[in-house]
Chain A
Amino acid sequence: MYRSISSDTCFLEKLGPNGVIVDRADFRLNFQQKLASVVLLLFFASFFFPFYLARENRISEDIQSGLLSLSPLCILFLMLPPLLIALHAFARKGWMKEVTITLSGVLGLFFPMMVLAIVGSDVSDAFGSLARYSPASGMYLYLTAVIIIFLMKPKFRLYDLSGMILVALAVMFVASKGSYDRLGIVLEGRNFGSRVTREVLAHIRLTFISLGISIVIGIPLALASFQGKRAKKIVFPFLNLLQTIPSIALFGLLITPLSLLSRTFPFLREMGIKGIGNAPAIIALSTYALYPIIRYSFTAFSSIEESVIQAAKGMGMNPFQIWRMVRFPLAAPGVLHGIRVALIQTIGNATLAKLIGGDGLGVLVFEGLGQASVDMVLLGMLLIIALTIASDRIFQIFIYLVTPPALRGKAVGNG
């Protein structure tokens, strides 16, 4: 009989007739096995949800298709990444572990895309030339499992990146053959045509103008509240109040005041400042971005230790030199971190500009919502998320470059 020897181990031991341990069973899962069980659970769950939705035309009813309605080849393909992860759970050698996890991650991205391509021709064969289809919850769950595989990897390596690039190239190649032509978001993208590019550019413009204004106003305010108690007493309660106002409301609160202003002062109207359009959107976005910028900058400036300043004084620096050579470089990572948070937030909130007649990707999203077109909303949101992730990455590299080498790798305190 096996029995446990103490409460906090997972060994069960089998004792021989004279109390000697004759066998020991280890029920602990190691790290790989725990990861594999979580990921496998997600993969398993994804097989019970519809993998894609097909429609005869843009407005007809959805027809859901689960994994089992796919061709045997597709099923085999989709089973491969879970299988590899199961193998990974029992891999003992280092290279074996790395190969199984990398392959299952990369193939987990590749196969769903290929299945979508194969399904494309089936859909147009079955439902005619107006048919369209889109990925559904099962597929999203499947991709979540793949994302977790990548997040669980101890290190994101060069070959992971090259694998992803290969997948992207393969997808582009398949797309050039026209395999994705019946995919809902592709069709919506075609319908919009050059408007998509225009709205992306408008979105970027909206974000950068607002962020610029907010930096120009925010950093001096942060410095003022760092230097004087009175400024802090005005700035911070204002920020706290601002934070309780939902972003969506801030846009609307400006409609009436701004249209009144533009009616009384015609020159403002000529500048484009009126109740609706891009101007109130920029004002609202830059006001909303003030919070992270001031908060993080203030924390960055106040968390510089007094001893560092004393040392600088001891070296004979004048106040101007202390600011230029000590305070600014040391605070820069924190300040930039605040700007990064503001950037992500502004890209997201710029979507809402459409609600007061502004441009940007919100146009796609809200027109899609109005027409109950899932594909259109998805197209808009995917572009926004791609924009967010891309600008976040670029900004992180920038932060790394301006951080003094001695401070690199240290966490930046958040406000």
Chain B
Amino acid sequence: MGRCALKLYSKSAKAEDTNLTKRVLLLALLVTLLLLFMLSEQVQTLILSFLFPSEGRYTHSRKTILQMTGEHIMLTLLATALAATVGVLIGIAVTRKGGQDFQILILRLNAFIQTFPPSAVIILAYPVLGFGWKPALLALFLYSLFPILGNTVVGFQSVAPEIKESARGMGMTALQQLWIAEFPQAWPMILTGIRHSYILNLGTAAIAAVIGGGGLGTIIISGLALRNSALVLSGTIVISLLAFIGEQVFLLLSRFTRT
């Protein structure tokens, strides 16, 4: 029995290692593609003119793809990082004894916010908060907060009571219980929430350009205004690559932080 289990384990571990190599290679490939496309205007023109030979222009008149990608990544990562920090903290607070009463509020707020489409949340930031990248950031943050918060709550709720009990029995303080016993159990769920938020933010941030948020939405919207699909595609390629890269990075992260 024991040997059989060991054999099975080593087999799956091996499969996982080849998977890991594949994953790292895929990530490297995606990053290379992104860098090639982002850094060189020749590559952009080559690809876009192959797909859309009739367009007059393949690059944005004022900003380079590199600049816009920088803005886009900043906006997305900042919003996701803020949402992750605040979401996990609130999630921990409402799964403790003192905060449990607020769980229902969080769940209802989550359901309420979900009825607002992401594009509406971004555009609504303009009348409520004003024009520019800060309102866009705030809107992205608010919208991505709740998926993370929800996953954190579910993650902590799914920790088996026996684990908490035994941690208490070992004489751990409340903080130790949280950090050593509960957090590792809840982490995969939390990470999934953060990953979803990142992908969501990446796409929603493209709409942020409408309210002055900058980013790759700039080239997409000018492509729409000029009726030029090539410009739209050029922004889309970068966003899609960023999404795939982010997904791989998060999967690797979950692989390495698993206990």
A: which residues have CB within 8 A of B?
7-8, 28, 31, 34-35, 38, 134, 137, 140, 147-148, 151-152, 241, 243-249, 251-257, 259-260, 275-276, 344-345, 347-349, 351-352, 355-356, 365-366, 369, 372, 374-375, 377-378, 381, 384-385, 388-389, 392
Contacts and interface: CB of A to CB of B under 8 A. Distances in A.
B115 A7 contact: no
Given A252-B224, A253-B229, A392-B115, A369 B211 contact: yes
10 contacts: A151-B108, A152-B105, A243-B243, A244-B199, A247-B119, A251-B224, A253-B229, A348-B117, A377-B126, A388-B115
A328 B108 CA distance: 30
Given A34-B101, A255-B232, A377 B123 contact: yes
B129 interface: yes
B229 A252 contact: yes
A269 B45 CA distance: 30
A254 B229 contact: yes
Nearest to B100: A31
A399 to B, nearest CB: 14
Contacts of B192: none
Interface residues of B, number: 55
Contacts of B102: 34, 38
A165 to B, nearest CB: 20
Contacts of A349: 117, 119
Nearest to B112: A151
A8 B105 contact: no
Which of B98, B102, B224, B236 neighbours the largest number of chain A CB atoms within 10 Å of its CB?
A: B224
A276 B229 CA distance: 11
A148 B110 CA distance: 12
Interface in B99-149: 101-102, 104-105, 108-109, 112, 114-120, 123-124, 126-129, 131
B105 to A, nearest CB: 6
Given A8-B174, A248-B206, A256-B229, A31 B101 contact: yes
B240 interface: yes
Given A244-B244, A255-B228, A369-B211, A351 B221 contact: no
Contacts of A151: 105, 108-109, 112
B220 A252 contact: yes
Given A249-B232, A249-B236, A255-B227, 9 more contacts: A35-B105, A246-B203, A248-B119, A253-B232, A255-B229, A369-B123, A369-B126, A381-B123, A384-B117
